[in-house]
Structure 1
Amino acid sequence: MTATTTHATGQAPAAARRVPVARGYRFELVKLVSQWRIRLLVFACWIVPALFVAGVSRQSTLPSDTLFGRWMHATGWAGPLVMLGFAGIWALPLLTSVVAGDVFASEDRLGTWRHLLVAVRSPARIFAAKSLAGLTVILLLVAGLVCSSAVGGLLAVGNQPLVGLDGHLLSPGDTAVKVLLAWAAALAPTLSLTAIGLLGSVALGRSPMGLLLPPVFALALSVVQMLPLPVAVRLALPGYAFISWNGLFTSPTQLAPLLTGVAVSLAWAVLATVLAYVLFIRRDFTNPAYDGSGRRALTLGVLPLAVLTAVTVAAVAVAAPSTGSGITQDKVQKSLATVFAHLYRLQTRELRRPAVTEAQLGATAACTKSDGRAAQEGAGNDWRCVVSWHLPGVTAVTGTAVYQLDITSDGRFMADGDGPKEVNGYFLVRTPTGDAPNPLWQFDGNVDLLDNN
């Protein structure tokens, strides 16, 4: 009947037009936002961080084991940095899991692929629309974490200066810029987790492992970062940008580890997205019982990422001159002396004493690990340091202070004062206006894992 009509009219039937990516993107975005769990996540990311930061900032006990946690009483800008440290380990992997890890698998569970293909008529455009919609929601959630935590901190504490990881005081404007840069750098590993979620959602179908893949992957990266690995391996992992942002808060800025971590994360994001696209284009949409790509997921998913890891490790090893852990005795001593000199000046201002400069102090540090019985390098909580300094007009050493250092594998250290009491042995100092927090009692610092030559 159709053939007769066609010959009678002399015209071929009009070909069905493919739906543009923009229309598919809007459709997929509406589908995501209409889900109750996505709406709940958006609400939580825009409200809960502000309440958390404001509440913690008013507590007597602060999360001093978290980077910048000890400064939440002093400035509102410490809040978004504490939130960033928490988000990189837990929040962002879970958010990418809920959004990207389910964006394709949901169609498998509902059995709606055939209807979607009939409407759009292009698997490539379906992939682009779904990926862009998932990315948009994730960016909205990350923006909520940044804005909410910053607003909560500023309202609760105020727009005050922040003490950097080398002890120097950052102005509120400079701090705001560095906070935004730190969160922007964290977007790179977030994109890599998003791409891993897309790959798992495509490759594993309706299996719940697609949802678990981003947080499991992030947890594995966190565990690996705790191991005594060489610097090249540490920097070549996609999650390193979640912790290397602390180099923004030193002077001079430690950009090399941060830029390396961002580049590696973006490379993972691009490759994982391409692999997800290839698997999606090649899948069989006519099989309603489809439950993952099986062997193809291994050959086109895991193996290329393993090759990328080997390539990035080799590239970083050639580019980065550091070997081993990157934490050496000389670096620890130099970093500790620098932080102490800056904070000594801050304590001097609190006590209303005559101002001194770092050059006048001439602070030096002598550090040993395990009382000299072990190799004088590497992470650990067995570093003991003696800091010495001079005062203007005095040629001999006029002061010494003892510190116990706990250095983590990423170069961050926490220095705990061990006397004398007048300098660093107590958490308060008596000032002309009353007791105030002692900046030399406990403080954080950072060792650059890469050589400075």
Structure 2
Amino acid sequence: MTATLAEGNVAGARRVSVPRTYRFELVKLFSQWRIRLLVLACWIAPALFVAGVSQQSTLPSDTLFGRWMHATGWAGPLVMLGFAGTWALPLLTSVVAGDVFASEDRLGTWRHLLVAVRSPRRIFAAKALASVTVLLLLVAGLACSSAAGGVAAVGNQPLVGLDGHLLAPTDAAAKVLLAWVCVLAPTLAFAAIGLLGSVALGRSPMGLLLPGLVALAMQLAQMLPLPAAVRLALPSYAFIAWNGLFTSPVQLGPLLIGIVVSLAWAVLATALAYVLFLRRDFTNLVHDGSERRALTVGLLPPAGLTALTVAALAVATPSTGSGIEQGTVQRSVATAFAHLYRLQTRQLHRPAVTETQLRTTAACTKSDGQAAQEGAGNDWRCVVTWHLPGIAVAGTAIYQLDIGPDGRFVADGDGPKEVNGYFLLRTSTGDSPNPLWQFDGNVELLNTTSKG
């Protein structure tokens, strides 16, 4: 007896509505000790972690916004967001969505559930909605807890953006919230992959591990020197595309593409899971899924979607290469240096200057000009030049750049010592971190923002 026959045999009986089934599935999920533990951890642990790290003398400066955790409470939730996108959110989708159907196989309760609900369609909808609800609660806990811990430990202070411009506390709070909202799209994509694995692989543990394994594979792919079109066609890119919210002007192109790609993956994987669920034979009490069906239905359509997305991006945008070019690197470094130089000027109580007065430029070369002047690597060297009003001689500073394949770079000061040679600045109010000593930046892979 298939799902269709089961539904037809009970057509005359009263069916349980989706809202009632949804509430029942929520109760089942929250009755599991691991779900309750995850909710507790997501709402408490981030606050303790951010508050504790913010009070340490050594900060995670290799993490985006980690070097600013002493200066503002809004850096903490962004550090937590970077960790969550890499590890926490894919693992959460595995535990919640990757087990929501497989648990019925392990317990052998499908026949009881079908008799009670009398509609496989309603069962699928209720389980999918319940798993998404739990995931939203977990993401909200990570965001709210880390923000509360950062603000409580450090304070509601301005945040330095990725290009060095200063964000007021209200603007920083709004963009932190928006960044967490944006990662809901890739979270839904991996949740849909979890649903597909849970349906297609039955009680097999591979269904539970599928979202985590896919996320790991995509993270490894993001570390490779892939063309920008391929990089943006993976839903995992949306976990890092929120970086563009913290530049001026905002780098919306990659972020919007990442969100659209993630939602497309979510719709496709959910639809595949739905079709497989309706075609399943529920009379088989030892159902372990079909490896052949999982391969053809679970792998080929996402691969086709990725290929189609890559082709569309290659045609619609100038993204056939890495997206990291000499011109974009020079503009990014010059912009960040100009903003941070003004911040250093305020710290040292020097006469205020504007970016227009500074006329900052950067000359960057890769491998001392002996290789192609594009692509990621730690062999970029930049000489920054700026001008001060009333001074004929231009100032210069040297930076060594380590640029990642995703466009994020770390600029390490290499002199002169008066500008970027020391970690701390001696000011009238005490020692302060030198913003020009080392700073983060971002090269937009699509280069769609203004070049002014």
Moved more, 421-430 or 318-327: 318-327
**Residue 441 of structure 1: aligned partner:** 437
In structure 2, C-alpha distance between the alignment counterparts of 1:23 and 1:354, rounded to whole Å: 67
Answer whether contact 1:165 1:250 (CA < 8 A) is retained. yes
- The 5 Å alignment of 1:321-336 reads 321-336=318-333
Corresponding letter in the other structure for 2:396: T
In structure 1, C-alpha distance between the alignment counterparts of 2:132 and 2:405, rounded to whole Å: 32
**Residue 420 of structure 2: aligned partner:** 424
Q: How far off is 1:305 after superposition?
A: 1.1
**Residue 7 of structure 2: aligned partner:** none
In structure 2, C-alpha distance between the alignment counterparts of 1:35 and 1:434, rounded to whole Å: 53
- The 5 Å alignment of 1:12-411 reads 15-397=12-394, 399-411=395-407
Corresponding letter in the other structure for 2:421: G
Partner SS state of residue 449, structure 1: coil
Corresponding letter in the other structure for 2:259: V
Answer whether contact 1:368 1:376 (CA < 8 A) is retained. yes
Deviations 1:41-65 (A, max 9, x none): 0000000000000000000110011
Larger gyration radius, structure 1 or structure 2: 1
Answer whether contact 1:279 1:297 (CA < 8 A) is retained. no
Answer whether contact 1:380 1:408 (CA < 8 A) is retained. yes
Partner SS state of residue 386, structure 1: strand
How many residue pairs match? The answer is 440
In structure 2, C-alpha distance between the alignment counterparts of 1:65 and 1:208, rounded to whole Å: 35
Q: How far off is 1:84 after superposition?
A: 0.4
Deviations 1:37-91 (A, max 9, x none): 0000000000000000000000011001110000000000000000000000110
Answer whether contact 1:365 1:387 (CA < 8 A) is retained. yes
In structure 1, C-alpha distance between the alignment counterparts of 2:201 and 2:429, rounded to whole Å: 64
Corresponding letter in the other structure for 1:31: K
Deviations 1:336-388 (A, max 9, x none): 01100110000000000001111111111111111111111100011111111
Answer whether contact 1:101 1:214 (CA < 8 A) is retained. yes
Answer whether contact 2:345 2:351 (CA < 8 A) is retained. yes
Corresponding letter in the other structure for 1:441: W
Q: How far off is 1:299 after superposition?
A: 2.2
Moved more, 323-332 or 66-75: 323-332
Deviations 1:381-408 (A, max 9, x none): 11111111111023442x1111110000
State TM-score, norm by structure 1. 0.96
Which residues of structure 1 form unaligned runs of 5+?
A: 1-12
Corresponding letter in the other structure for 2:386: W
In structure 2, C-alpha distance between the alignment counterparts of 1:240 and 1:14, rounded to whole Å: 45
Answer whether contact 1:322 1:451 (CA < 8 A) is retained. no
In structure 1, C-alpha distance between the alignment counterparts of 2:290 and 2:339, rounded to whole Å: 57
**Residue 6 of structure 1: aligned partner:** none
In structure 1, C-alpha distance between the alignment counterparts of 2:304 and 2:429, rounded to whole Å: 62
Partner SS state of residue 423, structure 1: helix
**Residue 9 of structure 1: aligned partner:** none
Q: How far off is 1:154 after superposition?
A: 0.3
**Residue 6 of structure 2: aligned partner:** none
In structure 2, C-alpha distance between the alignment counterparts of 1:451 and 1:250, rounded to whole Å: 13
Partner SS state of residue 416, structure 1: strand
Q: How far off is 1:14 after superposition?
A: 9.9
In structure 2, C-alpha distance between the alignment counterparts of 1:189 and 1:102, rounded to whole Å: 19
Partner SS state of residue 138, structure 2: helix
Corresponding letter in the other structure for 2:243: N
Corresponding letter in the other structure for 1:407: I
Alignment RMSD (CA, Å): 1.1
In structure 1, C-alpha distance between the alignment counterparts of 2:48 and 2:296, rounded to whole Å: 46
Partner SS state of residue 59, structure 1: coil
Deviations 1:312-346 (A, max 9, x none): 11111112123310001111111101100110000
Corresponding letter in the other structure for 2:197: G
In structure 1, C-alpha distance between the alignment counterparts of 2:307 and 2:415, rounded to whole Å: 47
Moved more, 314-323 or 206-215: 314-323
In structure 1, C-alpha distance between the alignment counterparts of 2:73 and 2:429, rounded to whole Å: 23
Partner SS state of residue 354, structure 1: coil
Moved more, 286-295 or 36-45: 286-295
In structure 2, C-alpha distance between the alignment counterparts of 1:189 and 1:262, rounded to whole Å: 7
In structure 2, C-alpha distance between the alignment counterparts of 1:434 and 1:28, rounded to whole Å: 58
Answer whether contact 1:46 1:141 (CA < 8 A) is retained. yes
In structure 1, C-alpha distance between the alignment counterparts of 2:292 and 2:274, rounded to whole Å: 16
In structure 1, C-alpha distance between the alignment counterparts of 2:254 and 2:21, rounded to whole Å: 39
In structure 1, C-alpha distance between the alignment counterparts of 2:153 and 2:447, rounded to whole Å: 40
In structure 1, C-alpha distance between the alignment counterparts of 2:125 and 2:75, rounded to whole Å: 38
**Residue 8 of structure 1: aligned partner:** none
Answer whether contact 2:313 2:319 (CA < 8 A) is retained. no
In structure 2, C-alpha distance between the alignment counterparts of 1:294 and 1:385, rounded to whole Å: 52
